[in-house]
Amino acid sequence: MLCFLGGIVSAQNSETVPSDGVVPDGIVPSYSAAVEGEPSFRLSDSDTGLLFFQTLTWEKAQYAVSYHVILERKRDTLDVYTEVLRRNITENSLDISVPFGEYRFRVLSFNILGLLDSESEWEYFIVIQALQPSVVEFSPSAFYFDRLTPRIITLSGENILLDAEIYLESLTSFDETGEPIIIRPVEIHRNELGENARLIFDEEELILGMYAIVIKNPGGLETRAGVFKMSVAKPFDINVSVGYVPMITLFGQEDYFLSNVFNPLGFAIRGNFVPFKRDIGFFGIEMTASWSLLTSETGIFKSTAHLLLINLDALYQYQIVRKTLFLNARAGIGLAGIFDYKIEYTDTGHTSSSFATAAFSFNFGASVQWFIHKQIFVEGGVDYIHIAHPELPMGFVRIGLFGGYQF
């Protein structure tokens, strides 16, 4: 279906001044300019299809009781205008529906005696062709935040013009004024035939939700395609890792078994479950079981103890680089057990009987998780652990270097 009159795109002689410098009384023709938020045209159905009507207006002449409007169209190849409309009216405006092209019009006013009172100079304007865009198909159907893929949408259809406006309009998210959130591509590539377009988006501007693909051609005709999704491919993540966890003593019973500030022997097993994935980050729970060897040596004795820690933490993950680099933060409580604590006296070589005790612990920390190949990752971070023993309170900083796999 061929549609006409998408809008006026240029005009000349918006004020007509004759050679004597006096403006004809009331005859200042113009096209109807678009009002912000409203189209510059009106639509009407007809037997032949959809018609576009644009309004020509002029100021009322002081003594005019009727107007004579002459409309001419420029020929395609010659700088010659041909009359296409001549109309006598009493109002100071006229609705026209004409094919696209270059036009000019002038207005003559007549007084109560039927005599010519004043006339305007020619007013020039251009009517552009309004085409209805359409989308036959688009791919992909979704962007997944937890998959490292190009953020590109490819469209194919008809009448996707070079100067068409194309964007994503949210069906689920709205701004503070209640308007749908709009995400615009940073680049648009399209062919001159209007058959396809390639939309490139900025990774940082994407927001979880459902969207419609909107195409607006010059002249106001538009189409909507979709639904296009932005979501996560997996509903949850499970990460399992093992690591080396040396510990640095901050405070504790140094005279007994913590005289060595650095305790290099320590290993841990860690697993987490992340079921909540949001735009602001991922949320889950994490459990870590670790073993460390605590040693001490004075001039009188040497001691050894095994520290076992089991921690249950709340976990927060923020994607620094989508699906590649995460910042993890954790905090929680746990149970700390000191087992097989023994003292060996230097002068006699006598070893005391073993001792064991347990207490609650608290911890918090942060780490960086880097996926080096698909689901394989390495992780490095620091945690603070406080053992809340009533008689043997202790505090450690634990350095963690992990390797793991995401299921």
Kindly report whether the global pTM for this prediction surpasses the value 0.95.
no
pLDDT of residue 40: 46
198 has a pLDDT exceeding 90: yes
Helix, strand, coil percentages (3-state) for the chain, rounded to 5, are 0, 60, 35
Longest dimension (CA), the chain: 137
By C-alpha distance, which of 3, 4, 5, 16 is closest to 105? Answer: 16
Choices 2.60.40.10, 2.30.30.50, 3.40.50.300, 3.30.360.10: CATH for 8-127: 2.60.40.10
pLDDT of residue 32: 42
pLDDT of residue 77: 76
pLDDT of residue 335: 96
286-297 per-position pLDDT tens digit: 999 999 998 887
Where do the CATH 2.60.40.10 domains begin and end in the chain? 8-127, 134-231
By C-alpha distance, which of 367, 394, 393 is closest to 270? Answer: 367
Q: What is the mean pLDDT of residues 45-49?
A: 57
What percent of the chain lies above the pLDDT cut of 70? Answer: 86
117-158 per-position pLDDT tens digit: 888 889 888 887 778 899 999 999 999 887 778 899 999 999
| 134-231 CATH fold | Immunoglobulin-like (2.60.40)
Say how far apart CA 402 and CA 267 lie, in whole Å. 10
57 has a pLDDT exceeding 80: yes
268 has a pLDDT exceeding 90: yes
pLDDT confidence tier of residue 371, bands split at 50, 70 and 90: very high
Return the SS3 of 103.
strand
Say how far apart CA 80 and CA 73 lie, in whole Å. 8
Torsions phi, psi of 204, nearest 5?
-75, -15
- Of the listed ranges 233-242, 310-319, 338-347, the least confidently predicted one is 338-347
Joined together, the tokens standing for residue 256 give 């007994």
Beta bridge partners of residue 376, listed in sequence order: 373, 405
Return the SS3 of 204.
helix
150-167 burial, b for 16+ CB within 10 Å, e for fewer?
ebebebebebbbeebebb
pLDDT of residue 8: 39
Say how far apart CA 373 and CA 369 lie, in whole Å. 12
311-322 burial, b for 16+ CB within 10 Å, e for fewer?
bebebbbebeeb
Where do the CATH 2.40.160.20 domains begin and end in the chain? 237-406
